[in-house]
Amino acid sequence: MRSDGTAVKQLFTSLVSSLGRETATRELKWMKSAALIASHSPTLPAMLQRRLSGEPLQYILGTTPFGPLDLLTRPPTLIPRPETEHWTLQLADLLTPTPARPLTVLDLCTGTGCIPLLLCHLWPPGSTRAYGVDISQDAIRLATDNAARCNIPLSHASSLAPYSQNVFIPVLGDLRNPDVFKRVLPPFDVITANPPYIPKREYDELPISVKNYEDPAALLGDPPGSEEQDGLTFYRLIAQLLAQKGMLREGSIVALEVGQGQADAVEAILQQSAGLRKTQVWKDPWNVKRVVLARA
Ligand SMILES: C[S@@+](CC[C@H](N)C(=O)[O-])C[C@H]1O[C@@H](n2cnc3c(N)ncnc32)[C@H](O)[C@@H]1O
């Protein structure tokens, strides 16, 4: 039988062929430290083997950084992406809630809870109550576990009691079903969403490491039965929601992540269907128009 050392060398050589030396070396370092830190973690050869079969590194390690947070990652919930981290940090800098002037955040399609949990972490204690809505049980469970990991207490949807810490409220529900909004308390000062936005034809071209591991419902912009196939179905739904009386206050902020090439269309949807005229677009670090921002 081969020793672990020989197996690791051979597996690493294969990883270099598939990812290039620089990335393979970096990933090996992370896997080694995960194997050292967590006693329950898989062995190094097992991790390398999984990586070679295409599994995303973040699922193998079980965590990913998101700003100063270190969030749990579990398949099939979408792994938070660097572009989402970038604009969430930018949004956190834009607003300055205080316990005297607290904000209520509604994050639609919350996944790991990365967006509301980062805002809760960065804003002053007692200034933020954040809802995270998702259709997936796995996602809501993971967001709840992540809140505990980040020391952000859970609250109840109906509780308006004053709070000394920032609180997170996970809500299992389907954006397409208006009943979900009976379980949250508008108006909202900030509405964020990174909804599924990939058109089917682009989804078909995604690498195996995405398609075989991450939930298609987290990626496909037009769920089965949608009228359009442009990846924008969720933005139309969100705009209808924003148009409802009492959802926003004057000055509320809406921040929606978009796919490459979608910003202009989403800006038009927000203006025409939600009546939000004050819009702007933020670019990501790769110079792609990534977020449509609107002020009520
Ligand atoms: C692109 S992921 C974003 C996750 C997380 N916000 C992030 O940025 O990493 C989209 C999320 O939308 C959720 N989702 C899909 N369809 C939904 C629906 N009809 N109602 C509510 N959430 C939905 C998926 O379960 C998934 O977690």
Ligand 1 centroid to residue 206 C-alpha, Å? 18
**Ligand 1 atom at minimum distance from 109 CA:** 12
pLDDT for res 1: 43
Tell me phi and psi for residue 156, to 5 degrees.
Answer: -95, 150
pLDDT for res 252: 97
pLDDT along the chain (296 residues), means of 10: 76 92 93 81 90 95 96 97 98 96 97 98 96 97 98 79 85 90 90 97 92 95 92 97 93 97 98 96 98 98
Q: Is the CB of 231 under 6 A from ligand 1?
A: no
Ligand 1 centroid to residue 279 C-alpha, Å? 23
Half-sphere exposure of 20 (CA within 13 A, CB side): 2
Tell me phi and psi for residue 237, to 5 degrees.
Answer: -65, -45
pTM of structure: 0.94
**Ligand 1 atom at minimum distance from 110 CA:** 6
| CA 114 – CA 143 distance, rounded (Å) | 8
pLDDT for res 11: 92
pLDDT for res 268: 97
pLDDT for res 162: 64
Q: Is the CB of 80 under 6 A from ligand 1?
A: yes
